A and B are shown apart, each in its own frame.
Chain A
Amino acid sequence: MSQPPGAAVSLAEAPPAAQPSKPLAAQRVQPLRRPGRWIATAVVLVVVAQIAHGLATNPFYQWDRFRYWFLRPTVLDGLLVTLEVAALSALLGLVGGVLLALARQSGSPVLRAVSWTYTWLFRSVPLIVVLIFLYNFSALYKTLSLGIPFGPAFVTFDESKLATDMTVAVIGLGLNEAAYAAEVVRGGLLSVDQGQHEAAAALGLPKGYQFTRIVLPQALRSITPNYVNQLIGLVKSTSLVFYVSLLDLFGSVQTMGSTYPGDIVPLLLVATVWYLILTSAVSVVQFYVERYFARGATRTLPPTPLQKARAALAAFRTRLRGEAVV
């Protein structure tokens, strides 16, 4: 009797009002309405629309000038330099990183210490400092020679000829990259179960085979996402080579910008879009590389975007058919 009369009435009247046409168990549960989510979605949509509208209509962006510059040979030449520097230094960085990671796990305390010191040094010094240091390197060492350490030299190079701007850029970025890659690779190697090493050893597999066929493929599964992260950072770091007088994408845009000051904004947009394209390309490659190394690690492979689209379409069709039946 403590209940208000209204509640009692509604309880009593509710069942006849519902009048289920089907038994309760056969009915589909109505999803909960989420008005907060709808409001947030609407607000975000308006903001996005405003930004898109601004990008399209603000004359400040000068999209016609953007179209003019986007495929200009000087920009494309810069893009080529960016790609070349990125690819070479990524390769140098990965090889160096694997060697450093192996040295770090070596039984020799000297190798371990050298690897640790290298990583410590190059992670501490800003890349721009490394680059400019290398740029002036020929002043420190006039010649480089191959021969017996502290003994006679067999081949001698003139450093000022060897150290082109490209070489300096690639070596600078590569040295820096190796320090980070070493940690990424080491993390990946540590993620491989000790039992795998033992099983490989117990089968008497040769040492090189153990590393390249058993441990590394498993380590690459966790190395890939981290290394791609590094790689994207590296692609963007290539813009620093402008300071060692190499005209990469950013460099050529910057030079054109000072020649045509009125076009600086569309030129920056050109660089932005190209960097976006490069990063997207790397991400697509990453997806398929990760999928490749996931063999055996998961029971089923993650679907490719194409497979996902097909599955979504199929689901949509069955839903349409289902609704038609109801």
Chain B
Amino acid sequence: MTATATATAAQETAPAALEVHDVHKWYGTHRVLDGIDLTVRPGEVTVVIGPSGSGKSTLLRVINHLEKPEIGHVSVGGELIGVRRVGDRLKELGERAILAQRGRIGFVFQNFNLFPHLTVLDNVAAAPVATGRLGKAEARALARELLTRVGLGERTGAYPRQLSGGQQQRVAIARALALRPGIILFDEPTSALDPELVGEVLSVIKDLATSGTTLVIVTHEIGFAREVADRIVFIDGGRIVEQGTPTQVLDHPEHPRTRDFLAKVL
């Protein structure tokens, strides 16, 4: 009994892997995010679903500070992202500091965004070298290892355009892993893929999920969400409408908007 109690206590005192606090984001008069609060525990897999234009992607982009929130703040592993606290105010961080923070947050894009002029190996090895974490030889060894892990150990010398979409996305995942991030964000990782290539990418993400990496995944693949998610978050109109376990949200949605959405996509 005491063992479980201390375990729970430890979990509560450890900093959250991700904390989004009252984030608002708007473009002109268009409110994209309208007060998002979200806490993700270390090792947790969170899947964000919702209709197009609901703010899912923007939420991910705010988390690694590709977009600045108008109000609110984000912290990853207990560290504020993009800002620092001075007394009771938040001040914007310098570019260099923000770039250093992004190295701790993996990001996988819908359109892969691999660097077309670099080989697959260099795509993966570039960031650890450029940020001064690893030497060239070490980075290449790590890149080989990661590419083998995503099933592309044979294609290290290829250029991205010589690969299929599914292979490119797996390289992009290896590239994100190369910085050994504490959390990885996936922005609709399979939306740009032909249907027969979706499976290979999802299986790599599933491996990551079961290996205890903290993941936040925006996706339209509801079946996949049910399989990997510890928690599902349904967003509509820039707000979290409801969240819970896959069974709660997908099978017994409480909110009519969730029910509407699921009726359309399932």
Cβ–Cβ contact B117 & A201, under 8 A: no
Q: Kindly state whether residue B38 has any CB partner on chain A within 8 Å.
A: no
Cβ–Cβ contact B113 & A213, under 8 A: no
Stretch of A51-59, A77-85, A294-302 at the chain-chain interface: A294-302
A77 CB to nearest chain B CB (Å): 42
Q: How far is the CA of A268 from the CA of B107 in the complex (A)?
A: 63
Q: Report chain B residues within 8 Å CB of A34.
A: none
Cβ–Cβ contact B113 & A299, under 8 A: no
State the total of A-B contacts with C-beta under 8 angstroms.
78
Q: Number of residues in B with C-beta < 8 Å to the partner?
A: 32
Q: Give a binary string over A115-153; 1 marks a CB under 8 Å from any B CB, 0 the rest.
A: 000000000000000000000000000000000000000
Q: Kindly state whether residue B95 has any CB partner on chain A within 8 Å.
A: yes
Q: Kindly state whether residue A46 has any CB partner on chain B within 8 Å.
A: no
Q: Give a binary string over A194-212; 1 marks a CB under 8 Å from any B CB, 0 the rest.
A: 0110111111111101000
Cβ–Cβ contact A204 & B102, under 8 A: yes
Q: Report chain B residues within 8 Å CB of A206.
A: 96, 99, 130-131
Q: Kindly state whether residue A217 has any CB partner on chain B within 8 Å.
A: yes
Q: Report chain A residues within 8 Å CB of B43.
A: none
Known A295-B159, A296-B161, A297-B161; judge A205-B127 contact (CB<8 A).
Answer: yes
Q: How far is the CA of A297 from the CA of B66 in the complex (A)?
A: 26
B186 CB to nearest chain A CB (Å): 12
Q: How far is the CA of A218 from the CA of B95 in the complex (A)?
A: 23
Known A205-B126, A213-B126; judge A199-B109 contact (CB<8 A).
Answer: yes
Q: How far is the CA of A196 from the CA of B254 in the complex (A)?
A: 41
Q: Kindly state whether residue B246 has any CB partner on chain A within 8 Å.
A: no
Q: Kindly state whether residue B100 has any CB partner on chain A within 8 Å.
A: yes
B82 CB to nearest chain A CB (Å): 12
Q: Kindly state whether residue A214 has any CB partner on chain B within 8 Å.
A: yes
Cβ–Cβ contact A299 & B102, under 8 A: no
Where chain A touches its partner, the secondary structure class is helix
Known A195-B109, A297-B161; judge A203-B117 contact (CB<8 A).
Answer: no
Cβ–Cβ contact A204 & B99, under 8 A: yes
Q: Kindly state whether residue A293 has any CB partner on chain B within 8 Å.
A: yes
Q: Kindly state whether residue B224 has any CB partner on chain A within 8 Å.
A: no
Q: Report chain A residues within 8 Å CB of B162.
A: 299
> Which positions 299-314 of chain A face chain B at CB distance < 8 Å?
299
Q: Kindly state whether residue B111 has any CB partner on chain A within 8 Å.
A: yes
Cβ–Cβ contact B99 & A295, under 8 A: no
Known A195-B113, A217-B117; judge A202-B159 contact (CB<8 A).
Answer: no
B133 CB to nearest chain A CB (Å): 10
Q: Report chain B residues within 8 Å CB of A196.
A: 113, 115
Cβ–Cβ contact A205 & B131, under 8 A: yes
A10 CB to nearest chain B CB (Å): 53
A205 CB to nearest chain B CB (Å): 5
> Which residues of chain B have a CB within 8 Å of any CB of chain A?
64, 66, 95-96, 99-105, 107, 109, 111, 113-119, 126-127, 130-131, 159-162, 175-176, 179
15 contacts between A and B (CB under 8 A): A195-B113, A198-B109, A199-B109, A200-B115, A201-B66, A204-B99, A204-B100, A204-B102, A204-B103, A209-B130, A213-B130, A214-B115, A293-B117, A296-B159, A297-B161
